Chains A and B, each alone.
Chain A
Amino acid sequence: MIRAALTALTILSALPASAAEETAVFGSEFGRPLLFRSTTDIRVLGPTIQEFTRLNPDIHVIYEQWGSNALFDESRSDCDQGRGADAILSSAVHQMVELVNSACAAPYRSPQTEALPADRRWRNELWGITREAAVMIYNTALVPPEDVPHSRFELLDLMRRNNPAYQDRIATYDIEASGLGYLFAFSDSLEASTFGALLEGFSRVDAVATCCSNEIIQGVSSGRYLIAYNVLGSYVSTQYRDNVSVVMPEDYTLFLSRAYMIPRHARNQGDATRLLDFLLSARGEALLKESGLVQRRDPEETFLPESSERAIPIDPMLLVARDQHRRKRFIAQWRATFGAPQFLSP
């Protein structure tokens, strides 16, 4: 499926005057253009968009893949200058909430959006499309089964054991470089008191804060890291490697819904709403599930008690995460553990 999609898309690596990391075009170039910006990897979401353009041949989607911080900055200035993409899908939900709170979004209602639960939409301007878990991953070859942490407490215990094998071999997102990493860490800090202890643990084992899901997963696969904390589960399942295994923490597992927004100044709002309805439709959801972007609870597979699922709600409380002072304090606390920013290549 992925391979089939990849044959259909053209990857234009370096477009001038755009901060997009990658760009792909789906559908006939004679259709109406729909500029779609997302933090999601084109390879992951591509098949779904491909199907959308197949069902809607009058639309061709220009898919730009962005980093979450760059996408936010661009969308913010687009909003002020009265231009912008036609649709935005970002995993940094708190940034999207701020965009909506700044009146940068256009409202839309349809049976599909009304069917969303209340914590997955806000003001009929922001909708949670996916459902992805924040998980721990480990290298199956290098981590002995008795060391595999099934919850944050077990991870804490492991880090406190002062086992030199794990020194400098545990990774997590750099929260300054990754909007998603910041969101996960921030949600952790709200969710439980274990967060302070976790930071202390990370400090003890000289954990590595690095950017980007792909780097972390590849690092675990290659053996550079043994365990990675708060990795987006969807990326692991799509880039599945035999020696990487996934653990959904049993104390609680954060679930993220990537937020879809139609900018107020979008030129092609009509097609953007069609894409939204498609993503929320049964067909769209099936495709997203296939791509690992919708992870339904399956007790037989995950052994996860229901109460341990914590969805990150799409609501104005995420504005707290965006507050400059709060962010300053939080990052200061984080930096005290991880030291100066470091970007290690895997």
Chain B
Amino acid sequence: MTDAPRPDAQRSLSSRVVTGVLSLLFVGGIIVAIASFAYGRQAAREAYDRLLLGAANDIAESISVLGGEPLADLPISAFKLLALAPDDRIAYAVRGPQGQLLTGNDFARPPTDTRVTTGNPHFFDHPMQGDTARFVTVYRRFAERDFSGTVSVTVGQTIAARNAMALSLTRDALIASLVAGVALMLLAALVIRNAMEPLNRIASELLDRDPYDLTPMDRNVPAEVSVMIDAMNRFMLRLDRQFSSMRNLISDTAHQLRTPVAAIRAQAELIGEETNDDARQQMVTRLTRRSRSLGELLDQMLSRALVIHRTDSAPRLPIDLRDIALEVVDSRDHELLAPETEVELRIGPDEVIVLADEISLTEAAKNMFNNALRHGASPVTIGVTVEGTNAALWVEDAGNGPPPEILDRIGERFERSSASSGRSAGLGLSIVRAVASAFQGEVRMAPGENGFRVTLLLPLRPTRTGDPQ
């Protein structure tokens, strides 16, 4: 798609169809003209060949042997047949056994090469005084007492009538196809009008719609139009998701920040009232811790909003999960968060490719990693493995994991306890879940080989051979 508007983008469908039908008619007309002219010539040839043959047979029938000589009594009927092609010139010849002319025009000669097939009438083309002409030769055998032999009768006629007939057949066919073309065009216009009717309905429906109404549109439209409706509905669904995640973000933020901010304000006020320096120092330390965990909370809320936004809008690219794990370890966050924790990276030599958004995946991985650092026991291992058709990015710590009642609720959006306590494990896991569901994967939390393991399972990118890499 280019940004510049294409010149034909604005052209109406009707004019496109008219252009299409016209070019179809033009090409079709040429084909019809050629075909019908060929057909017409064939038909004219057959029709007039019969007349020619009829005339020749008439003449042959009229021959009788008189005084040892074949004598033709040229019948009027033969010439009446030929005169059905009123403006064509005629040539005929009656010839004796040696080819000598008995009567007629000397230039009307039977074919020389078909002496053997004297039984059948023989048609051939031959010029007649400069004009194209069609000839037929028929033979009649005589076995009389005083004459024996084959007499040939050759009759020819110019082809003006044949051409006229072929042309008139062609013209008729062209007129018929023209009429059909006009009918086709009218029909096409009608069909287009009918087909475009749903679009008008959709347009007015859209115009009448409340701006915040993002419910799907009526899909009771022709299949061709429903493509557009589906796209529009999908678009509105995304929009709706974005809207609701934004609404969630706002309400979550408001909800989750209210308590810590109130606590900080209360502590700050207490500090102002406290006169004891030791107690004051202690309170300042607590205030600092509070505000730091508030910052972390904010970070995670923003990164969750980022993930939700990106999973809807960012293009899916092939990503090696090992790169993600490597990046998480390389960022050295654990040295700040939990300097005493031992960290291990476990990845194989083969690349593990999934289709996803890199930033979202990194966010998810960091959250899983940080959760383990914060809540788990050392050592913490981050690894990438292949499980069947799925790729797994997992984080494992040596601890026992959260208690089962927390495990059930973990990852839900509202987790007042964590928020009020300044911790944000729930929020972090909810990011992981959001990423998993956005890329058709899942989150598994279960005891692992050496402790508690959180796994992000994503489908492997299908390879050309179908084998997972």
Contacts and interface: CB of A to CB of B under 8 A. Distances in A.
A324 B79 contact: no
Interface in A316-346: 316-317, 319-320, 323-326, 328-329
B188 interface: no
Given A101-B90, A103-B89, A319-B90, A325 B130 contact: no
B103 A324 contact: yes
A190 B76 contact: yes
A186 to B, nearest CB: 10
B189 interface: no
A315 interface: yes
Interface stretch (B22-30, B80-88, B215-223, B258-266): B80-88
A340 B95 CA distance: 29
Nearest to B94: A325
B80 A317 contact: yes
Contact of B76 (A100, A102, A317, A329): A317
B71 interface: yes
B319 interface: no
Contacts of A123: 87, 89
Among A316, A323, A325, A326, max chain B CB count under 10 A is at A325
B101 to A, nearest CB: 9
A122 interface: yes
B78 to A, nearest CB: 8
Contact of A329 (B73, B82, B90): B73
A103 B157 CA distance: 12
B73 A325 contact: yes
B15 interface: no
Interface in B118-132: 128-131
Contact of A325 (B72, B80, B89): B72
B104 interface: yes
B359 interface: no
A323 B104 contact: yes
Interface in B74-122: 74-76, 79-80, 82-83, 86-87, 89-91, 94, 102-105
Grouping DSSP codes into helix (H, G, I), strand (E, B) and loop, the A interface class, with mixed when no group exceeds half, is helix
Nearest to A102: B129
Interface string B51-79: 00000000000000000000111111001
Contacts of A100: 89
Contact of A319 (B71, B72, B79, B130): B79
A316 B71 CA distance: 21
Contacts of B91: 101
A100 B83 CA distance: 14
A325 B83 contact: no
B87 A323 contact: no
A317 B75 CA distance: 10
A329 B71 contact: yes
Contact of A122 (B79, B87, B103, B104): B87
Interface string A30-46: 00000000000000000
Given A102-B129, A325-B94, A320 B76 contact: yes
Interface in B346-383: none
B365 to A, nearest CB: 97
A103 B94 CA distance: 21
Given A103-B129, A317-B79, A317-B80, A326 B89 contact: no
A233 to B, nearest CB: 26
B103 A323 contact: yes
Contacts of A316: 79, 82-83, 89-90
B74 A326 contact: yes
Contacts of A118: 86
Given A123-B87, A320-B79, A326 B73 contact: yes
Contact of B74 (A101, A102, A103, A320): A320
A326 B72 CA distance: 7
B71 A328 contact: yes
Nearest to B89: A101
A315 B76 contact: no
21 contacts: A103-B89, A103-B128, A103-B130, A103-B131, A118-B86, A122-B87, A124-B87, A316-B79, A316-B82, A316-B89, A316-B90, A317-B79, A317-B80, A317-B83, A319-B79, A320-B75, A320-B76, A323-B72, A323-B103, A324-B104, A325-B71
Given A123-B87, A324-B102, A324-B103, 8 more contacts: A100-B89, A101-B90, A101-B91, A103-B130, A122-B87, A190-B76, A317-B83, A320-B76
